[in-house]
Amino acid sequence: MMLNALYFWFFGTLAAVCGLGVVLSRHPMHSAISLVGTMIAIAALFLQLHSEFLAYAQIIVYTGAVMVLIVFTISLLNLRQTAGNPMCPSRWWGVVFVALLLLVFSAYQLIDKSHGFAGPARPSVPPDYGQVPTVARSLFTTYLFPFEFVAVLLTAAVIGATVLARQDPEQHPTEQEEQK
Amino acid sequence: MITLSHYLFLSMILFALGVTGLMVRRNAIILLMSVELMLNAANLAVVAFARFRPAPASADNGMVLVFMVMAVAAAEVAIGLAILLNLYRQRRTVNADELNVLKG
């Protein structure tokens, strides 16, 4: 039980610190690396919640595919360091609002004795909980239509991304010369 | 003892960080990453709810939902980055404040 709490606090802190790094880093590449850390920490927390399938999917989809795409785009754009503060100070009032929400939520959790931080412990689960066969069974029976629909969505996204990112040689003649 | 509230609290912190990034930063790539952070926070909350429900015998529903969210997030990033790439080719910037073509 003690080890369980230690595991949660370690990866929870890692996720929060890396999330802070995403927001505060000056260079987008540092933000991307921080985001990888957050996603790995969340995958570790999925493991603690007995959702093995989702933990692996998280690693493969997010750190394996999404973040590689983002990192490649950052290096492709070759962004110049913008001078001055990358933050926008006039929007800090929104941050104050978010902090206020956070405060209200944590106050509620501390006051409510039956559901808050002193709430019930996790129930025990069947041994096949969160395993690949269990998730696959409901994915291919109950949720077959949404599953197939996601396939259509991903195909549309791939075609759309290809069309959008394609470079038309006739349309940007100056850029072609720029690259030479 | 780690309860549901601990996971929800962490999820809330990550979501708040994502909102903060979305409001404070001006680099469009970082805005996309903040959206990913918020989606991840929501996923964590859904998985925690699925794990802590009183009878977790049919709790795959939450996992299927998270799986769908992951797929949609991947599609969103692919399209978003393609749009950014196109935008950078035409305007030479990804600063969200300078992108005002649609302004009347």
The CATH number of the domain covering residues in A1-79? 1.20.120.1200
- Among B54, B66, B76, select the one facing A54 at the smallest CB separation: B66
Q: Give the separation between CA A43 and CA A48, rounded to whole angstroms.
A: 9
B26 CB near a chain A CB, below 8 Å? yes
**Yes or no, beta carbons of A88 and B51 under 8 Å apart:** no
B42 CB near a chain A CB, below 8 Å? no
So what's the ipTM on this one? 0.90
The pLDDT of residue A62 is above 80: yes
Fill in the DSSP letter of residue B57.
G
Asked whether B11 and A41 are in contact (CB, 8 A), the reply is no
* Chain B: closest CA distance from residue A180 (Å): 15
Segment B37-50 mean pLDDT: 92
Question: Which residues of chain A are within 8 Å of residue B3 when distances are taken between CB atoms?
Answer: 116-122
**Yes or no, beta carbons of B19 and A94 under 8 Å apart:** yes
* Complete DSSP assignment for chain A: -HHHHHHHHHHHHHHHHHHHHHHH-SSHHHHHHHHHHHHHHHHHHHHHTT-HHHHHHIIIIIIIIIHHHHHHHHHHHTPPPPSS-SB-GGGHHHHHHHHHHHHHHHHHHHH-TTTSTT-PPPPP--TTTT-HHHHHHHHHTTTHHHHHHHHHHHHHHHHHHHHHH---TTT-HHHHHHH-
**pTM for this entry:** 0.86
Domain boundaries, chain B: 4-91
Q: pLDDT tens digits, residue range A118-143?
A: 666 667 777 777 788 888 888 898 89
Q: Which fold has domain B4-91?
A: Helix Hairpins (1.10.287)
